[in-house]
Amino acid sequence: MSEPTATPHTDLSIRAAELDAADELFKLRERFALPEGVVYLDGNSLGALPAAVPGRVADVVSREWGELLIRSWDESGWWTAPERIGDLIAPLVGAAPGRIVVGDSTSVNLFKALVGAARLVAARGGAESGAESGGEPRTELLVDATTFPTDGYIAASAARMTGLTVVPVEPAELPAALGPRTAVVLVNHVDYRSGRLHDLPGLTAAVRAAGALAVWDLCHSAGALPVGLDAHGVDLAVGCTYKYLNGGPGSPAYLYIAERHQAAFDSPLPGWNSHAEPFAMSPGYVPADGALRGRVGTPDILSMLALEAALGVWDGVDVEAVRAKSLALTDFFLECVEAYVPAGRVESVTPAAHAERGSQVALRTDDAAAVMKELIARGVIGDFRHPDVLRFGFTPLYVGFADAERAARTLAGILAA
């Protein structure tokens, strides 16, 4: 009797099990509270719940707030949470301690960064600012034309406040668009729709060579791949913490200010929390030293400390290993999609080249909204982006190769039907 012929499903499911067994990060899944039977591929919208968070939040509410009351600002370290948690995020994005402060939303931090960058450029004087030395004035704020819409809204408001003109530019065309009029450049590290990874080192170098300042949005890269803010000379950066950093819905964002800019950084939102002597209650504003001048008002302690507990999942984790697994996962998922899905039913809009890929796969298909709804009903959670994109985020700390295989197989079953 002849041996039964193996199917692509059999071969790929066996490979998935072997890859999971050899994966050095697979055990990290235990650090998360994931529902049974669910493949969660939407961590690029909302990260999964770290197992340590519920207990920590309960302690903050019942003991630190309920028993210690206002004493917790000192005794429980509430007051220093924004910079302390910033130092936990710093190694995940390649920053030294003292360069990141946590608080507010990404949008608020982006507003601080863009206005602050424009003021830094204006304050330089001499040849770098253009007009003062007889050159052209720096009047342009170049904005990633593919940016998340809110970034564009904030950029437009920041431009009105600082007298700049917004110039939308495709990231690939950015080097050619730079010139003596460029003041500030805003770019997303990873395109939220397609998962395309933009060249942070190269674009930052080009911006700085043009005499401008670079502001990067790290929402879709921090926690998924190495960023290298210090090493690559980034001026300012912002990011959320509820995606790959798993901080929880609406968890506070962060602001990175390069050390060389901290002494001159002039925030457009000077609050009492960023005052050099916050409890002096003086009528005149004197900014604190360092990245602390990025603080504004009273920190949102409950979500702040939930984030701190969530960041514990990164203990002992190498971001380079996370990146290697991310690429392997997305490669394997695309291989499974090609093997299972009927020809012509989906088109990947995520770059095939590793150097251009974040940690997600975006597939274009007809009736994408209905397809995603059915995927979720079958226990595979991704998300839909208008008008025709299925988006799957791969968080290497808790997503495995068997998850990728099951997601592709489930998608194929829906499209075949």
Catalogue the active-site residues.
Answer: 148, 217, 242-243, 391
- 3-class DSSP assignment, residue 385: strand
Cα dihedral value 113, 118, 121, 122, nearest 10: -140
Tokens of 216: 């990067």
Which among 34, 91, 92 has a CA at the least distance from the CA of 399? 34
Bridge partners of residue 217, in order along the sequence: 188, 238
208 conformational bin, left if phi > 0, alpha if psi -120 to 50, beta if neither: alpha
Show the CA angle centred on residue 372, arms to residues 371 and 374, nearest 5°. Answer: 65
Q: Could you tell me which residues come within 8 angstroms of residue 10 by beta carbon, excluding any fewer than 6 positions away? A: none
- Distance (Å, rounded) from C-alpha 63 to C-alpha 66? 5
Contact 43, 359 (CB under 8 A): no
Contact 161, 212 (CB under 8 A): no
What is the DSSP code string of 266-333? Answer: --SS--GGGBSSGGG--SS--BPSGGGGG--S---HHHHHHHHHHGGGGTT--HHHHHHHHHHHHHHH
- Distance (Å, rounded) from C-alpha 254 to C-alpha 100? 7
